[in-house]
């Protein structure tokens, strides 16, 4: 489940939705609140559950929350759905870190430091993320102690859900939702603030338009990933170490909700050594 905050009027406007396995955003609805505290987000999520029940729809029980790191959103989500992984939008996280480095990190170190953080973000498991984070701290603690203190407090001890594989088949950013927000602004003349009465009318029109787009087949919810020709081509060209002698070198394994493809690699041990050298260089 994703939640985004914006403001077309003098109150916070919350757009709530989810993503499918093709990473396309689908809006659930719009809420207008008087504030942005935990109780407000608790109300929004509870209203979603109640609405689904009244319409005799499938119970809303998201596996994960994707947000911008707000503790109020997290608390409201947890109050309704229990303990679930919270993904910190990687784009927001990187933007905040880069801004922080502007005034505190030596200019000669900045590029290398950001590059190391980008490597951390690619971690494929919690264990890998923890080990790589320790190496990152070890490398930079003497050079940039103030930054490391900030990074540990903000991005390792609290909002640490920004690495790539914290939740399989889940986007690591809110980009799809923010793109949807821009479309709403452009198509519905929300570039200027509106009176609440006018905003209510336009919002009802927007929600109706969202619903009809599914009825008319203009938008679909994908319960499996679409593997296009471009993806296959890019996979083949991904690395010169990947090579194929026969079609049998591409094997697949049917999982519960996905298909795992295996690509035969030439000099695979050499490739893994190269990856290991890159990770160890953080230290």
Look at residue 160 and tell me whether its pLDDT is greater than 60.
Answer: yes
pLDDT at residue number 272: 40
For residue 45, pLDDT beyond 60: yes
Q: What angle do CA 111, 115, 120 make, to 5 degrees?
A: 150
Residues 110 and 131 in one domain: yes
222, part of any domain: no
The token pair at 50 is 């109640």
Do residue 29 and residue 134 come from a single domain? Answer: no
What local confidence, expressed as pLDDT, does residue 188 receive?
A: 56
Per-residue pLDDT, 60: 86
Mark which of 113, 134, 156 sits at the end of a domain.
156
Q: Is 220 within the bounds of a domain? A: no
Asked if residue 277 has pLDDT above 70, the reply is: no
Q: Is position 162 within any domain?
A: no
Query: For residue 210, is it within any domain?
Result: yes
194 is a domain residue:
yes
CATH number at residue 50: 3.30.420.10
Do 66 and 205 have their domain in common? yes
46 shares a domain with 115:
no
Q: How far is CA 120 from CA 90, 105, 117, 132, in A?
A: 11, 18, 5, 6
Please check whether residues 22 and 77 belong to one and the same domain.
Answer: yes
Least confident of 90-94, 168-172, 178-182, 208-212: 178-182
| Most confidently modeled range among 125-134, 198-207, 229-238 | 125-134
pLDDT of residue 274: 46
Give residues with Cβ within 8 angstroms of 266, minimum separation 6. Answer: 241, 242, 243
When mean pLDDT is compared across 21-35, 101-115, 133-147, the lowest value belongs to 21-35
State the total domains in the chain.
3
Given a cut of 70, whether residue 222 has pLDDT beyond it is yes
Same domain, 50 and 7: yes
Q: pLDDT-derived band of residue 258, with 50, 70 and 90 as boundaries?
A: low
Final residue belonging to a domain, choices 135, 156, 177: 156
User: Do 23 and 49 have their domain in common?
Assistant: yes
Distance CA 67, CA 174 (A): 7
pLDDT band at 118 (very low <50, low <70, confident <90, very high): very high
Residue 273 lies in a domain: yes
Kindly state the percentage of the chain with pLDDT values over 90: 27
Residue 190: which pLDDT band, with cuts at 50, 70 and 90? low
Kindly state whether residues 132 and 179 are assigned to the same domain. no
Going by the DSSP 8-state scheme, the letter that residue 237 receives in this structure is T
Do residues 172 and 77 both lie within one domain? yes
Q: How much is the pLDDT for 59?
A: 86
Write out the residue range of the structural domain in which residue 195 sits.
Answer: 2-85+167-215
More confident position, 243 or 112: 112
114 vs 268, more confident: 114
Tell me, what's the pLDDT at 4? 47
What tokens does 120 get? 């951390």
**Segment 111-133 mean pLDDT:** 92
Quick one: pLDDT band at residue 85, thresholds 50, 70, 90? confident
Mean pLDDT of 152-165: 92
Residues 141 and 183 in one domain: no
- Whether 113 maps to a domain, the answer reads yes
> Smallest Cα–Cα separation from 121: which of 82, 95, 150?
95
Mean pLDDT for all residues in the chain:
78
Would you say residue 245 has pLDDT above 50?
A: no
More confident residue, 256 or 20: 20
Kindly list the distances between the CA atom of residue 186 and the CA atoms of 15, 57, 92, 189, in Å, as whole numbers in the listed order. 16, 31, 22, 6
Residues 48 and 21 in one domain: yes
Please say if the pLDDT value at position 269 is more than 60.
no
Residue 105 domain-assigned? yes
**Is 188 found in the same domain as 140?**
no
Per-residue confidence at 25, pLDDT binned at 50, 70, 90?
confident
Q: Mean pLDDT throughout 197-204?
A: 83
Beta-strand pair 250-254/259-263: antiparallel
Q: What pLDDT score was predicted for residue 248?
A: 40
């Amino acid at each position: 489940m994703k939640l985004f905050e914006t403001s077309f009027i003098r109150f916070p406007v919350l757009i709530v939705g989810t993503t499918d396995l093709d990473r396309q955003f689908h809006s659930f609805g719009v809420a207008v609140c008087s504030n942005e505290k935990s109780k407000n987000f608790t109300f929004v999520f509870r209203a979603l559950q109640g609405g689904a029940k009244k319409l005799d729809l499938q119970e809303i029980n998201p596996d994960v929350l994707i947000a911008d790191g707000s503790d109020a959103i997290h608390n409201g989500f947890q109050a309704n759905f229990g303990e679930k992984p919270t993904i910190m939008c990687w784009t927001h996280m990187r933007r905040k870190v880069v801004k922080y480095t502007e005034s505190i990190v030596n200019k000669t170190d900045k590029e290398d430091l950001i590059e190391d953080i980008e490597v951390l973000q690619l971690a494929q498991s919690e264990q890998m993320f923890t080990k790589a984070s320790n190496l990152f701290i070890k490398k930079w603690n003497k050079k940039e102690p103030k930054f490391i203190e900030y990074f540990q407090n903000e991005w390792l001890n609290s909002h640490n859900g920004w690495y790539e594989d914290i939740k399989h088949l889940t986007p690591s950013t809110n980009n799809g939702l923010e793109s949807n927000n821009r479309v709403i602004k452009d198509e519905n003349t929300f570039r200027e603030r509106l009176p609440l009465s006018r905003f209510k009318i336009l919002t009802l029109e927007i929600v109706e338009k969202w619903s009809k787009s599914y009825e008319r087949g203009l938008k679909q919810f994908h319960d499996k990933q679409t593997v296009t020709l471009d993806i296959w081509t890019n996979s083949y060209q991904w690395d010169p170490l990947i090579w194929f002698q026969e079609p049998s070198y591409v094997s697949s394994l049917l999982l519960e909700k996905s298909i795992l493809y295996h690509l035969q690699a030439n000099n695979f041990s050499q490739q893994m050594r190269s990856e290991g050298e890159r990770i160890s260089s953080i230290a």
